[in-house]
């Protein structure tokens, strides 16, 4: 059922466009009295789409109401929450709110896209509510793997919604403040929370997530007795982990190399925002050669096997300045994100083939998650005491299990949501709090600096090329459709001329036969010529004339048949016909 916004004009609606029943691309809309706010604007990994590594949610729905969209509010700096701002802001053109660290980080990213002076970035003042009429927003700091993660208490005349963002309950987050759980407790005590929109990433994990602070000793133990080069690879945004590793390096007498632009940027932004106050011994990768291997600790991004990232270059032995060899160690201080397994295992293999030791979360305590395990979810539900739980930030299984945990904690109502579904929320009519409509959703692919629709011809054509290659045939014909010079054929990724030389003979025969028949059929011999036919379409350019198009189309299907018969594949066939005047 399509969402009827007229009917729900005065209703509080929650409507995710991304991040529900999927990991990544978090984008959540809230609506009341015809006004909207967007919470988070993230990207996600794309799989098996040629030339596309990242995606954003399709925002065509909210674009229609962009004049009523008041703000984009970012909970924290992770790519799945703010990575799409540079691609989508031009289409929305609204102020973007973030914490001080978030704003500094976003501005530095926007510089790359020459948008830093264009996008109005407003810094959140956590000490007082932000009034975005009809929404009043209070910010509540929760611990995560990055500092200044802000949960939102969205207060409205229809009830209060706690939008948690990504969180865990970590008594020692290393960088940043501990969770302001007392604020949530206070709301819960007074039964003031109508609904909680909650992180589900680790809902399947029993117990309590481990603390960032605990990791220090474990990593130090693994590094302290090594005599070779040591590397630690982690997410490029994990400021706490970088701080932990830099501290360990200092304690064990190693200098730290931050490999890659994104890590250096994070360090600069972190320092500017008041983090990294301790003096660490950083050197550049150009200086490595002046030291013994056992004096160096390399921090590299990224850990998900990305093609261009420094970890992959190190693994392949092609990094120009960082040279790992037999007996050196690379620690993967990160999680294997579902969907990235193949790329990551390829990376492990590259290290193994060169006899470089690796350690991962599978075999050592080298990583802690930034998301709540079951016990933390239970604690949150028991403190917040919401009437309704709507789990987000997870695949279907994660949100389903999070619903079960919420139910088990005695929460009156749980709603399992998917992208594009709008839920009506009203504290006076809990029974009517349900899905009330659906809007268009989908994905856009990040294609270099542009976005393209993943259902577009460009992607379809790329897939076809990937599958069977392309054959381009160029024909120069005279007025009577006779070839005036030998035709030219070029194969890209379709066949090999050395092994399949008979293919071109067949193409030649087919073309000659086809043109002869076509000329007879059109009766363009004896001076009438194709120019006569062309006159009928004189408003169109020659290349676009129907006659030429028709010839190209028929010839394409005949030549395609040759490839189907011989190779058993359907390549893309491009035929270019030039008619001499
Ligand atoms: Zn996060
Ligand atoms: Zn996230």
308-324: pLDDT as tens digits: 678 889 999 999 999 99
Query: Helices 239-252 and 212-224 sit at what angle, rounded to 10 degrees?
Result: 40
Cis ω on the peptide bond leading into residue 134 (within 30° of 0)?
A: yes
Q: Is the pLDDT of residue 564 over 70?
A: yes
Cα(265) to centroid(ligand 1), Å: 18
Q: How far apart are CA 196 and CA 199, in angstroms?
A: 10
Measure Cα distances from 418 to 84, 381, 393, 437, 438 in Å: 20, 21, 10, 12, 10
Based on C-alpha coordinates, what's the Rg of the chain? 30
- The residue among 149 and 484 whose pLDDT is bigger is 149
Cα(407) to centroid(ligand 1), Å: 25
pLDDT in tens, 238-270: 888 999 999 999 999 999 999 988 899 999 999
Which of the ligands is closest to the CA of residue 102?
1
Q: What is the pLDDT of residue 429?
A: 95
Q: Is the pLDDT of residue 527 over 50?
A: no
Q: Is the pLDDT of residue 537 over 60?
A: no
Cα(297) to centroid(ligand 2), Å: 28
Q: How far is CA 128 from the centre of its chain?
A: 32
Q: Of 199-203, 412-416, 425-429, 567-571, where does mean pLDDT reach its minimum?
A: 567-571
Q: What is the pLDDT of residue 59?
A: 97
Virtual torsion, Cα 507, 513, 515, 520, nearest 10 deg: -170
CA angle in degrees (0–180, nearest 5) for 367-278-147: 50
Which of the ligands is closest to the CA of residue 43?
2
Cα(178) to centroid(ligand 1), Å: 16
Q: Is the pLDDT of residue 544 over 80?
A: no
Cα(168) to centroid(ligand 1), Å: 10
Cα(316) to centroid(ligand 2), Å: 30
Q: What is the pLDDT of residue 91?
A: 95
Which of 165, 167, 203, 184 lies closest to 403, judged by CA?
A: 203
Cα(78) to centroid(ligand 2), Å: 6
Cα(372) to centroid(ligand 2), Å: 12
Q: What integer best gives the mean pLDDT of the chain? A: 91
Cα(161) to centroid(ligand 2), Å: 19
Cα(432) to centroid(ligand 1), Å: 32
Q: What is the pLDDT of residue 262?
A: 86
Contact residues for 126 (Cβ-Cβ < 8 A; gap 6+): 99, 139, 141, 150
Cis ω on the peptide bond leading into residue 302 (within 30° of 0)?
A: yes
Which of the ligands is closest to the CA of residue 39?
2
Q: What is the pLDDT of residue 484?
A: 84
* Phi-psi category of residue 3: left, alpha or beta, with phi > 0 → left and psi -120 to 50 → alpha: beta
Cα(301) to centroid(ligand 1), Å: 17
Which of the ligands is closest to the CA of residue 144?
1
Cα(237) to centroid(ligand 1), Å: 9
Confidence band of 11 (pLDDT split at 50, 70, 90): very high
Which of the ligands is closest to the CA of residue 81?
2
Q: What is the pLDDT of residue 533?
A: 56
Confidence band of 538 (pLDDT split at 50, 70, 90): low
Q: What is the pLDDT of residue 543?
A: 47
Q: What is the pLDDT of residue 24?
A: 92
Q: What are phi and psi of 463, to 5 degrees?
A: -65, -40
pLDDT in tens, 116-129: 999 999 999 999 99
The pTM of this model reads 0.87
pLDDT in tens, 30-74: 999 999 999 999 999 888 888 898 999 999 999 999 999 999 999
pLDDT in tens, 129-142: 999 999 999 999 99
Q: What is the pLDDT of residue 310?
A: 83
Which protein residues have a CB closer than 5 Å to ligand 2 (ion)? Answer: 78, 80, 166
Which of the ligands is closest to the CA of residue 201?
2
Cα(307) to centroid(ligand 2), Å: 22
Cα(370) to centroid(ligand 1), Å: 7
Which of the ligands is closest to the CA of residue 145?
1
pLDDT in tens, 148-163: 999 999 999 999 999 9
Cα(75) to centroid(ligand 1), Å: 9
- The residue among 343 and 416 whose pLDDT is bigger is 416
């Amino acid at each position: 059922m399509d969402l009827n916004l007229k009917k729900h004009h005065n209703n509080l609606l929650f409507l995710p466009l991304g991040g529900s029943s999927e990991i990544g691309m978090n984008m959540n809309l809230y609506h009341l009295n015809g006004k909207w706010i967007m919470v988070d604007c993230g990207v996600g990994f794309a799989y098996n789409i040629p030339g596309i590594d990242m995606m954003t949610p399709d925002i065509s729905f909210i674009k229609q109401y962009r004049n009523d969209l008041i703000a984009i509010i970012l909970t924290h700096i992770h790519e799945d929450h703010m990575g799409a701002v540079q691609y989508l802001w031009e289409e929305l053109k609204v102020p973007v709110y973030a914490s001080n660290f978030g704003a500094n980080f976003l501005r530095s990213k926007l510089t790359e896209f020459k948008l830093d002076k264009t996008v109005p970035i407003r810094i959140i003042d956590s000490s007082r509510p932000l009034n975005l009429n009809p929404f009043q927003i209070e910010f509540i700091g929760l611990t995560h793997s990055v500092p200044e993660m802000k949960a939102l208490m969205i207060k409205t005349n229809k009830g209060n919604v706690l939008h948690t963002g990504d969180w865990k309950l970590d008594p020692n987050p290393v960088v940043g403040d501990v969770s302001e759980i007392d604020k949530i407790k206070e709301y819960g005590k007074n039964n003031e929370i109508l609904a909680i929109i909650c992180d589900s990433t680790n809902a399947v994990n029993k117990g309590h997530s481990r603390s960032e602070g605990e990791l220090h000793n474990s990593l130090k133990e693994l590094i302290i007795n090594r005599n070779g080069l040591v590397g630690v690879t982690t997410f490029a945004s994990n400021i706490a982990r970088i701080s932990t590793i830099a501290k360990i390096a200092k304690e064990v007498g190693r200098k730290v190399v931050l490999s890659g632009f994104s890590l250096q940027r994070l360090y600069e932004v972190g320092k500017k925002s008041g983090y990294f106050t301790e003096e660490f011994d950083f050197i550049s990768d150009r200086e490595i050669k002046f030291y013994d291997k056992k004096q160096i600790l390399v921090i590299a991004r990224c850990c998900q096997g990305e093609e261009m990232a420094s970890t992959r270059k190190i693994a392949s032995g092609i990094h120009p300045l960082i040279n790992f060899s037999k007996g050196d160690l690379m620690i993967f201080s990160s999680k294997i994100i579902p969907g990235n397994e193949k790329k990551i295992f390829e990376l492990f293999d590259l290290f193994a083939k060169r006899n470089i030791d690796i350690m991962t979360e599978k075999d050592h305590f080298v990583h802690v998650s930034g998301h709540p395990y079951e016990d933390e979810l239970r604690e949150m539900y028991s403190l917040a005491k919401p009437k309704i739980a709507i789990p987000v930030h997870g695949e279907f299984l994660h949100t389903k299990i999070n619903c079960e945990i919420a139910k088990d904690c005695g929460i009156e109502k749980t709603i399992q949501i998917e992208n594009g579904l709008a839920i009506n929320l009203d504290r006076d009519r809990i029974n009517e709090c349900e899905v009330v409509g659906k809007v268009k959703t989908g994905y856009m692919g990040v294609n270099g600096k542009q976005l393209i629709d993943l259902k577009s011809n460009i992607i379809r054509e790329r897939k076809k090329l990937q599958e069977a290659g392309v054959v381009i045939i160029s024909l120069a014909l005279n007025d009577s459709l006779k070839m005036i010079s030998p035709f030219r054929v070029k194969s890209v990724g379709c066949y090999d001329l050395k092994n399949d030389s008979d293919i071109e003979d067949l193409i030649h025969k087919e073309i000659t036969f086809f043109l002869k028949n076509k000329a007879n059929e059109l009766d363009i011999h004896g001076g009438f010529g194709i120019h006569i036919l062309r006159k009928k379409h004189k408003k169109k350019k020659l290349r676009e004339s129907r006659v030429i198009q028709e010839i190209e189309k028929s010839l394409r299907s005949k030549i395609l048949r040759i490839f189907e018969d011989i190779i058993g594949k359907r390549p893309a066939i491009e035929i270019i016909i030039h008619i001499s005047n």
